[in-house]
Chains A and B, each alone.
Chain A
Amino acid sequence: MSTCIITLCYRKIIDANAAKQWDKLVFESSYLEFKMQAQNYSLGTSFTTYADLVKNVPNAHRLAGMITLSITGYVQQLAGIVPDMLNNVGKRFLKFNKFQLEVINSDINDKTKHQVAINFYTEQLIWHHTIENFLLLSNYNPAETENEEALTNLFQVQPYVNIYSLKKLQ
């Protein structure tokens, strides 16, 4: 296989079962914002769920963008490192430069229905080899020459991780 430049996307699901502190804070903050902003669209209707609002109320699809601003402070606290995803020595190493909040389900009257996903899009990585179940990755730096030594990470693709884009390295 020829060497490729890839980006990964990790879709981190956060719902009422969130256990980690960061996840809990994102859950609380995004739910309060959903509840507040959704009432701009539910006014005069009987709809309370995200699905109903998006289906029936014009522009309700903007809710995800509106809720994003309730979690940007938490995303900043990650300092550009994708959470949860570890290399084979147990360290977080994937850098992201883009994220997108998705509302999966929610209900103005029922917090337990609230479920969001944050998609983290990584910076470009070079996929050098595949060793057993692991991808051997290094950060892509166009300025580096071919002969330079690259620091690498062994990473096993996990559930909710996708290879988002791929380009052959010339």
Chain B
Amino acid sequence: MERKNFLKSLMIGAVSTSVLVDACKKDSTTTTTSSTSTTTSGSSSSSGTCSVIETETEGPFPTKAPASYVRSDITGDRTGYKLTVKITINNSNNSCNALSGALVDIWHCDSAGNYSEYGGSGMQATNYTTVHFLRGRQTTDSNGLVTFTSIFPGWYSGRATHIHVHVYNSSGTSLKVTQIAFPEGSGTALAAVAGYTKGMTGYTYNASDNVFSDGYTLELATVTGNTTDGFVLSISMSVPA
């Protein structure tokens, strides 16, 4: 086993480390222990190239790490009225029964109407936890439910308040891209939040929204609560899986 690994490392080295040839030449103590036993021609391990193998204690052992999107609390460093988002997914191809194991991505803007940016350029190895505020991923449970903790979204010019949703099957194949609309009018959460500091002047209501204006009854969530205790958003959606 050890020898097999060693040979494997040589083969990897042979592909990518041509400059190391000289290093081997000058260093007479570097020999391949296997060379005496593999005198047959054609072996890639006898090409004379080699690279220094790690001589450290094995580890740290890599462990499976979920994408940073996988989190229930997507608030990050944003502030606003607490919003619990409960999305239930059912399968329109299976008698509308609950769809478990589906991946659900959501993202929305902060109280000022801004989305988090994706780190396109070089990223600091420490300090990338805040760059994806208000974006998250959960997997539906046996009831088809995912729950996120977030803040009530703000709004930006041209759009009604909304939450983006992308539903995938467990292998990452897209099942549905949609948006959640909010109830409007007196007594609603939207009216209570009243656009945070921005107010509601210039707000685009659902009827005028270019996404929702063609009908949004299926996309309309139920939102309960108040600004003191926070709000709870619930919606059920059918996707073909």
As a 0/1 sequence over residues 53 to 64 of chain A, the CB contacts with chain B under 8 angstroms (1 = contact) are 000000001101
Out of B65, B122, B123, name the residue touching A77 (CB < 8 Å): B65
**B56 in complex: contacting residue of A25, A76, A91, A159, CB < 8 Å:** A91
Contacts of A66 in B (CB 8 A): 118
Residues 90 to 131 of chain A near chain B (Cβ within 8 Å) = 90-92, 96-100, 119, 121
One of B15-23, B84-92, B199-207, B214-222 at the interface:
B15-23
Which B residues from 160 to 185 make CB contacts under 8 A with A? 166, 168, 172-174, 177
Q: Is the CB of A62 within 8 A of B120?
A: yes
Beta-carbon contact of A99 and B67 below 8 Å: no
Q: Is the interface of B mostly helix, strand, loop or mixed?
A: loop
Chain B residues near A157 (CB, 8 Å)?
A: 19
Closest Cβ–Cβ distance, residue A126 to chain B (whole Å):
21
Q: What's the minimum C-beta distance from A92 to chain B, rounded to whole angstroms?
A: 7
Contact A158/B19 with A19-B12, A21-B62 known, Cβ cut-off 8 Å? yes
> Is A98 in contact with B123, judged by CB distance below 8 angstroms?
yes
The count of chain B contact residues (Cβ–Cβ below 8 Å) is 46
Q: Distance in Å from the Cβ of A50 to the closest Cβ of chain B?
A: 15
Q: Does A142 sit at the interface, judged by CB under 8 A?
A: no
Assess whether A98 is in contact with B55, with CB atoms less than 8 Å apart.
no
Chain A 62-94 interface mask (CB, 8 Å, partner B; 1/0): 101110111111111101100000101111100
A50 to B16, CA, bound (A): 25
Which of B35-43, B124-132, B143-151, B187-195 faces chain A?
B124-132
B69 CB to nearest A CB, Å: 6
Nearest CB of chain A from residue B104's CB, rounded to whole Å: 11
Contacts of A35 in B (CB 8 A): 172-173
B69's nearest neighbour on chain A, judged by CB, is A69
Known contacts A36-B103, A158-B17; A68 and B119 CB within 8 A of each other: yes
A152 interfacial contact with B, CB 8 Å: no
Quote the shortest CB–CB distance from B16 to chain A (angstroms): 5
Contact A80 B125 (CB under 8 A): yes
Given contacts A61-B120, A73-B65, contact A91 B18 (CB under 8 A): no
Cβ-defined contact, B125 with A99, below 8 A: yes
Which B residues touch A46, using CB under 8 A? none
- Of the A-B pairs whose beta carbons lie under 8 Å apart in the complex, a sample of 8, sorted by A's number, is A36-B174, A39-B177, A66-B118, A73-B66, A75-B125, A80-B125, A91-B55, A119-B122
Q: Do residues A133 and B22 form an inter-chain contact, with CB atoms below 8 A? A: yes
**A90, B122: Cβ atoms under 8 Å?**
no
Q: Which residues of A contact B52 (CB under 8 A)?
A: 86, 88-90
Q: Is the CB of B123 within 8 A of A99?
A: yes
Q: Which residues of B contact A100 (CB under 8 A)?
A: 121-123
Q: Roughly how many angstroms separate A77 CA and B128 CA in the complex, as a whole number? A: 14
> Across the interface, which residues of B come within 8 angstroms of A19, CB to CB?
8, 12
Is the CB–CB distance between B54 and A92 below 8 Å? yes
Contacts of B18 in A (CB 8 A): 159
Whether B3 sits at the interface, judged by CB under 8 Å, is no
A52 interfacial contact with B, CB 8 Å: no
Give the nearest-CB partner of A134 in chain B.
B23
Contact of B68 among A39, A40, A69 (CB under 8 A): A69
